[in-house]
Amino acid sequence: MTSDTLTHAPSGGLYTPEERRRRDDSVWTIVQGILAPLQFLVFLVSLVLVLRYLGTGAGYTAATVSIVAKTGVLLTIMVTGAIWEKVVFGQWLFAPAFFWEDVFSFAVIALHLGYVWALLTGEPPMVQMTLALLAYAAYVVNATQFLLKLRRARLEGGT
């Protein structure tokens, strides 16, 4: 086997057999499997709270706490995802199989941290909530990317 065969999945697949084995054996796969739905749940709750605040003017503190919590879960899943990529693909981020998901993840993180910056610098609540909604829209796109990738992996014969 050449080194190219070891680093790139055959015929455009996501994983080589060795990468699939590492993925299936890694505790980080389980961690990602727990954090991803947790992040989505936090997102849904937060989205409701943000929309409630924008619609009624009530619940600013609850919305703010929920956005900060969503940002914390996002950063956690990004760090653990980088560890997962290192274990499975041998590099911290931007493994070819997940390159565009990782690129867009950085945009999602930037928008979430932009919200945190707006919060900490005392920007008006409408600016804060607008940034949160932009971050959430980007998160939905990124989550869709990962769900499509998960579906592809399942169709290729390995969860």
77-119 pLDDT tens trace: 999 999 999 999 999 999 999 999 999 999 999 999 999 999 9
Does residue 92 sit in helix, strand or coil? coil
pLDDT score recorded for residue 108:
97
Q: Which residue has the tokens 């760090």?
A: 79
pLDDT score recorded for residue 159:
53
The yes-or-no verdict on residue 4 having pLDDT over 50 is no
Q: Mean of the pLDDT values across residues 58-67?
A: 98
Helix axes 125-155, 27-56, angle to 10 degrees: 140
Q: Mean of the pLDDT values across residues 13-25?
A: 93
Q: Mean of the pLDDT values across residues 118-145?
A: 97
Q: Where are the beta strands (DSSP E) in the chain?
A: none
Confidence of residue 11 (pLDDT cuts 50, 70, 90): low
All structural domains of the chain with their residue ranges: 16-150
The yes-or-no verdict on residue 6 having pLDDT over 50 is no
Contact call for residues 98 and 85 (beta carbons, < 8 A)? yes
Q: Which residue has the tokens 């996501």?
A: 14
Dist CA 24 CA 124 (whole Å)? 46
- State pLDDT tens for residues 23-59: 999 999 999 999 999 999 999 999 999 999 999 999 9
pTM for this structure? 0.86
